[in-house]
Structure 1
Amino acid sequence: MLSTIFTYFDKIYLLKNPESRSLLSNIMQIRNYRKNQVIQQPNSRCKTLYFVTKGVARIYYFKDAKDITEHFAFDANIIIRAESLFTKRTTPKAIQALTDLTVVAIPAQELFCLFETNLEVERLFNKIFIQAYIQTTKRVESLQFQSATERYYELLTQTNLINQIPLKHIASYLGITQVSLSRIRASI
């Protein structure tokens, strides 16, 4: 299972030194979660980075007692509550498995300590964090400049597991009602 994550890492930044791979492997753990299981609770601090290797997860929060989906993570996606991870503060956001889920979990504190002694690992994660930032920027821009239909089509290109995601979460992610989502889906 760790070989899968290293294949993904190699596409971002190749760790040439075998020691770098070994040190990183030593702090990674395979974890499995059941469908609908909350991985990180709301109003807690993010202390772990997750790479999805199988399944779908989401970041969500509550606003006016309404469940809002902010982000979906599919195979080979990182899922973290970055605003908490880097500020070391709690966040109202949570992470939930939407399907049975397998992830590679990396404890943040151990990873950040590894950055101090291993430049290759630090460079790899610098690139991963930059990619995550770019994806977040694209998400904000899609909300500003694309229609809900365009955002839905974009979501369809990201995974073949779309039918396993409850419609209420997709509608929330798109910023529309379930009725509007039904109309979009009917027009396809």
Structure 2
Amino acid sequence: MSTYLKKFISQYVNLTDDEFEHISNKFRNKTIGKNSYLFRHGDICKDLVLVQKGCLRLYYLKNGVEISVWFAFEQSSAIEIYSFINESPSEYSLQAIEDSEVLYLSKQELNQLYQKQPKMQEMMRNFWEDVILNLISRFTALQKDSAEKRYLDLLDKPEYLKKIPQKYLASFIGITPTSLSRIRKRIARNH
């Protein structure tokens, strides 16, 4: 746990060994089986989740269809920001799409760390900035890029193509699985 957690935290802040030890002791481990949920629509997202192994997806339902909006791979975070910050029921569900191992820190523990470890505030500010920039980038791509361009961008992210079923990839780029099949065939013919 400590090597992975140290790598994640060091992206956002430099800690002494003592500071890191105090913070890392607040995180807990959890194993989640394939297709199991960390939370479902209507639940409150109470934890900051870091994926050690596996893959999670954040999705919502629209007219009975699952729309995937985010994937969290190894060494990345998974959180539903609105629910976490406002402590309100989520419009989303967070599900493991393969057997996964995660570290998690409750919002209550996070707030206590803010008081006891001031660098935790700096770390989370930098973390939130990173999350917001990624969300803006994703939103912009959905608004301005074609579905084919969004798929081509995924080709630069092999973990998406290896781990994520086509139906989830299609909803992630904003199209149907049939449209994704057509795009993949067209790209294959042109290369």
Structure 1 unaligned spans of 5+: none
Cα distance in 1 for partners of 2:26, 2:155 equals 34
SS in structure 1 at match of 2:101: strand
Q: Offset at 1:173?
A: 0.8
User: C-alpha separation between the residues in 1 aligned to 2:93 and 2:154?
Assistant: 21
State the one-letter code of the partner of 1:119: P
Alignment match, 2:10: 10
| Cα distance between partner residues in 2 of 1:146 and 1:161 | 18
User: Given the two structures, how large is their TM-score scaled by the length of structure 1?
Assistant: 0.93
Over aligned residue pairs, what C-alpha RMSD do you find?
A: 1.4
Deviation at 1:98, TM superposition (A): 0.7
Correspondence list, 1:27-176, <5 A: 27-160=26-159, 162-176=161-175
**Secondary structure, aligned partner of 1:39:** strand
Tell me the amino acid that sits aligned with residue 125 of structure 1: M
Q: How many residue pairs were aligned?
A: 187
| Counterpart Cα distance in 2 of 1:148 and 1:93 | 23
Against the structure 1 CA distance between its residues 5 and 157, is the aligned structure 2 distance closer, same or farther, given a 3 Å change threshold?
A: farther
- Structure 1 letter corresponding to 2:37: V
CA offset digits 1:88-108 (Å, max 9, x no partner): 111121100011111111111
The amino acid across from 1:3 in the alignment is T
Alpha-carbon shift at residue 77 of structure 1 (Å): 1.5
Are the counterparts in 1 of residues 56 and 97 from structure 2 also a CA contact under 8 Å? yes
Please state how far the C-alpha of 1:39 moved relative to its aligned partner: 1.3
Q: Displaced runs of 4+ in structure 1, greater than 4 A?
A: none
The 2-side partners of 1:32 and 1:50 are apart by 12
The 1-side partners of 2:146 and 2:70 are apart by: 17
The offset of 1:156, in angstroms, is: 3.2
CA shift at 1:161, angstroms?
5.0
**TM-score, normalised on structure 2?**
0.92
Which residue identity is paired with 2:153? Answer: E
CA distance in 2, matches of 1:183, 1:5: 41
The answer on whether the counterparts of 2:59 and 2:66 sit within 8 Å (CA) in structure 1 is: yes
Take 1:134 and 1:74, find their aligned partners in 2: how far apart are those partners? Answer: 18
Post-superposition CA distance 1:47-97 (Å, at most 9, x none): 001111222111011111111111111122111010000011111211000
Preserved CA contact (<8 Å) 2:32 2:100: yes
Counterpart secondary structure, 1:157: coil
Which sits farther off after the overlay, 139-148 or 160-169?
160-169
Q: Distance in 2 between matches of 1:158 and 1:54?
A: 17
